[in-house]
Structures are given as structure tokens and as C-alpha cells.
Chains A and B, each alone.
Chain A
């Protein structure tokens, strides 16, 4: 069965520090992978996605993620975090039929001055 694991429930980083949010997935075929960000009381905003090709994908707001098939991972990174990045981050895997998304439980990011 498909599943997504985000092992870190909550992460705190200092503004300007680098960030890595972990995501592992379980899916039998080649997955479609996504990262979404959700600010309090808001909807889901797509940060980036991986369908095929280059395993390092660039997204909005300076985020990037790398697909590593051997590790079944799709970790999100940012070299320098801004206070406005404080939010909930969700990793998701989509099936190649486009029929369903599976979300991770989310990682809550706190940014301290």
C-alpha cells in the first residue's frame, strides 16, 4: 500500500540557517512526489513536484528537493530559512493514474530570530 512518512513532527531552526525536511514514501511504481506548504488557517500551496527527469527539482520560495529512488526519499531543502517560512509542510505521493494523493502527517517548522 502507498504511504508517506515524515519522521519529524516539529523542527525549529534559526533564521538564516539551512533546512532539510525528510520525506520517505512507499509506492510500487514510479511515484509522483510533491511538497506543499500550509500557513495557519490557509490552504495548501504547492512548493515543488517531481514527475520524472532530473532528480533535483527547484521550487518556489528558494526550496528544492531531491528524489532518491534507492532511499525512497524526497527531502525538502532550503539553504537559508526566512521567518516567513514558518508553516506546516506536507509531503505527498501521487499515483501514476493521477487518481489519489497520499499525504504525510506533516512537519511543523518554527523559525527563531
Chain B
């Protein structure tokens, strides 16, 4: 069964550094998403991406964040100048073009020190 993959599984970075989280969505999916889950809290929507542009974004997704689909398979989330409060699990998802169901990747745990 096709699945969404994410790399790395765990990323440790120093405050102020830039990180890029990578995702490979399911190949025939058209919408892609990033979510964030701070430890012990709920999963929060960050951004959705369709047709090579941002479709929707939340208040969390400010100028510090950007997304890109650099080629036909990868979907990346870049966080510039990371802050301690960016430490969280970041989930990528892609949605079935017919049902709209979202399929989640296993997540990348980002730790900012």
C-alpha cells in the first residue's frame, strides 16, 4: 500500500539555524499538507499546497516558514531561524484526489536547542 514518507525521523538543530523537513507524498495525490504537534498538544494545521502554490495556511505559518515542491516527488517545509518553540513533531500528509482522505506520514521530530 502506498504511503507518505518523511525524512529525517528526528532532527536536532540549534536556535537560529534553518531546517528543511522533507516529505514524499503518495504519487497520485494532488494536495499536500504540513501539520505540527507540540509535545502533549493537539495536531495543528500549518499549510496546504496545491498546483505548486499555497492553498491555505494557518496563523502559525508566518514568514518563518515556507514550502516547496522542488521536483515531482518531494514536498519540503523550511523553517528559517528556528526558535525553541518550534520544537515539535511535524507531520506531512497528502490527500486522495477522489475521496479527499488525508494520509499522514510518520512525522519528523524537530528539537531546537
Contact = CB atoms under 8 A, between A and B. Distances in A.
Contact of B99 (A36, A51, A92, A100): A51
B12 interface: no
A108 B17 CA distance: 34
Interface of B: 31, 33, 35, 41-45, 48, 50, 55-56, 91, 93, 95-96, 99-107
A96 interface: yes
Given A42-B106, A101-B33, A104-B42, 6 more contacts: A32-B100, A36-B104, A43-B106, A43-B107, A101-B43, A103-B35
A31 B87 CA distance: 31
A97 interface: yes
Contact of B100 (A90, A92, A98, A106): A98
Range for the number of chain A residues in contact with chain B: 20 to 34
A99 B91 contact: no
Nearest to B50: A99
B45 A100 contact: yes
Which 9 residue pairs across A and B have the least CB separation, nearest first? A98-B100, A43-B106, A103-B43, A105-B42, A44-B104, A43-B107, A98-B95, A103-B42, A106-B42
A103 B44 contact: yes
Contacts of B101: 32, 34, 46, 49, 51, 94, 98
Nearest to A106: B42
A20 to B, nearest CB: 20
Contacts of B106: 42-43
A102 interface: yes
Interface string A22-56: 00000000001010100000111010010100000
A90 B43 contact: yes
A13 B61 CA distance: 38
A101 B93 CA distance: 10
B91 A44 contact: yes
